[in-house]
A and B are shown apart, each in its own frame.
Chain A
Amino acid sequence: MPHVMISNKKCTGCHMCELGCSAFHEGGFQPSLARLFTDVNPTTAVIKGHSCLQTACAKCQEACPEDAIVTRQITVKPAGEFSSREKNGDTVTGFVLIVDESKCTNCGDCYEVCPYDVIHEHPAREVAFKCDLCDGDPQCIAFCQNKYVLAVDLKLDKKDKELRA
């Protein structure tokens, strides 16, 4: 299914993706609440990107005792350029994992299992928050637009490709 992913090799560590992500969801720039992040060690210049793999991973969904992580259909149409655009086209339809806040009890079971450290407790709402693919307009892609970098890509996992074929 569609998910966003950061290339550790291409990423320059500018954090624009986190800034766009947090402003879109939180009404202001607050990277501590971004749904993806680049772990940058500025001294050594080593970078590691963290983002949600959605249904290709789904560990949070499996772990959730309340069935609060729900699968929803989504059409993703990113603004701007991304590396796989030529291969996958402008628009990708598939599934995304969303937190149903009415069901989430903030038990924290999913926080423990996420392999990428991208599902957390929201400090104000006291429920889990994670990548929702920005309702189909991923801001992380929209703001990683240096044509020589394009480090955030829209990826499709195998199942998704089969479905499309």
Chain B
Amino acid sequence: MDFYQGKVLKIDLSAGTAIVEPLNMEWAELYIGGKGLMLRYLWELTEPGLDPWSPDNPFIVATGPFAGTNVSTCSRVVIGGKSPASGTMLDSYMGGSFGSILKFAGYDMVIVQGLAPQLSTILIKDDVVTLAPCPAYTGMKTSEIEAALRADFDAKMTAISIGPAGESKLPWACISNDQYHKAGRGGTGALLGSKNVKAIAVAGTGKVTVGDAKAFLDDIERMDADYILTDDNYWVHEEGTPILVGITSGAGCQPVRNFSEGTNPDVENIDSEAFQKIRVKKRACYQCTLACRNFHRVEGAEGEGPEYETIALCGANVGVGDIDALMKFNIECDEWGLDTISTGNVLGLAMDMTEKGIHDFGVRFGDLDAYLKVPEQLATRSGIGAELAMGAKALAEKHGCPELAMHSKNLEMPGYDPRGSFGMSIAYASSDRGGCHMRSFPIGVEVVEGSMPADTLDSSKVVWNIDFQNHYAFKFCGIWCDFWAIDYDQMTQLMKHLWKRDVTEDELKVVGERVWNLGRLYNLREGTEKKDDFVPKAMLEKPFTTGVSAGKVIGSERFAKVMDEYYATRGWDENAVPTEDKLRQLGIDVRL
């Protein structure tokens, strides 16, 4: 078979078995790969209302059809399951090399269920799969586990692994690959940790075929020149995501001190220019020619990142403008295996509660000593980490201040405050995995380009968000990286190789919408309701006092109105449930 390997590796940890199943090609036709295919398997694998901490909750790794070829950025994998953080579907993406190497080993997907009797690793060397207990790896940080597996298993292996945070099942523990690549959000690491699995390592020597390889190479050479190595994408190599630091603060939408303001007074200490001064090298994901990974060095620390989200949440949001401390904090989060968005969000909340006298956590905005201890405390649930591990929602509720928790569907918000970019309120509220900017990103038009006003919220924003969500739902089936600004036309040119026929943009739009609706059905099946599509009240009602977004208010009524419009435009009923007509029109093969 071309592109797909046609194989799913299914591991049952409780039974201690690994079997290879053929990839369901009907589903691959309908849902392509990545997000879509993962969701379709997730739907099938679990009973409705599953406890996310149950051993039955699958840990799914899915590649896209272009992983293991030279289509730039498509080495990405999605980690899926039911989120231990939010209880919604979980789809978290990362680059690195795992996706490509897994394909060379001969698999499109890995599905892990059950519970290992003791901490174990799953070792995959082409068609040889071993479940190996690994008590000696207990407590290893992410760089240590990779070095150990390279020495003990295979020098050329790559691994998905968890740090100590995953072992202690912190709800926002992440998955690591090649040390600097993280599937950060939604508790991917907690899910793997809950199965007693420290790592999945893979070494692969096989081949991915594409049909006429020379014709394919010629076409990719053309697309690289015309679509990838262009000014639209080169910014990620030249500057990378720190470019956003100055932009979002200037637009008044950067989370500052637990989202209490949108303009960061310390911005010039941690903006793109500041990071360029300490930049030392560039690295790329496997099969990516853009090379966006920036390495920085300060006294006593060198590593990749921090990316924008980390700078915003673990910098601005906790009152830290010290680039040395931020670098160290980021490296610690990487090593202990923490999602930096939730970490900075929850820490900002704890600082806010301390400053307001609600509860003294011993951490205040900008207090570097206390700050630098937090990653270890969270990962080991020691000190204040024991309580902070509850997550923003539960922590704020416990102390009687739910209004201070900046989350949606129990996933902590990332680095964009809707008060400086009104469209983001729709993006967050309608996101299929909670507070997330990767489903639609109005920041692009409202703030970066300025092609839409940042302080309006009307039908045009509803339609814009829906189009973007469908586009990204398809893109994340590919799995193309966010940093290739790939449009439908370019995707049809690649899909033509996969489907070996002409492909129209409309076909791909239908797939994107199909995947989005499947995600909605899954969330509804698992108990998410219309009322869960919200953003914190402060973001709707409480204006900022500084910067260009000062005084601007979305208003709860206006927000409710556009959300109703959102459901109607999507073809969902008054309870925000996709109608039978819609499901039939999209060719969705499951029902609630």
Contacts and interface: CB of A to CB of B under 8 A. Distances in A.
A19 B229 contact: no
A13 B178 CA distance: 12
Contacts of A12: 282-284, 291, 293
Interface in B288-311: 288-291, 293, 295, 304
Nearest to B70: A19
B213 A24 contact: yes
Contact of A146 (B104, B158, B237, B304): B237
A147 interface: yes
Contact of B70 (A29, A33, A45, A148): A29
A23 interface: yes
A27 B225 CA distance: 23
Given A42-B97, A43-B146, A14 B285 contact: yes
From B70, B146, B237, residue with most partner A Cβ within 10 Å: B70
A46 B288 CA distance: 17
A45 B146 contact: no
A152 B221 CA distance: 16
Interface in A14-57: 14-16, 19-20, 22-24, 26-33, 41-43, 45
B179 interface: yes
Nearest to A22: B207
A145 B289 contact: yes
A41 B150 CA distance: 9
Contact of A149 (B100, B158, B287, B291): B291
Interface residues of B, number: 49
Contact of B205 (A32, A143, A144): A32
B213 A146 contact: no
A28 B213 contact: yes
Contacts of B295: 45
Contact of A43 (B178, B208, B214): B178
Contacts of A26: 207, 213
A12 B236 CA distance: 14
A80 B229 CA distance: 12
Contacts of B104: 29-32
A99 B197 CA distance: 46
B347 to A, nearest CB: 27
A106 interface: no
Contacts of A45: 179-180, 281, 283, 295, 304
Given A142-B221, A143-B70, A14 B207 contact: no
A145 B70 contact: no
Interface of B: 68-70, 72, 96-97, 100, 104, 143, 146-147, 150, 158, 178-180, 204-210, 213-214, 216-217, 220-221, 224-225, 229, 234, 237-238, 281-291, 293, 295, 304
Minimum-distance CB pairs A-B, first 5: A42-B178, A14-B284, A30-B207, A32-B205, A28-B209
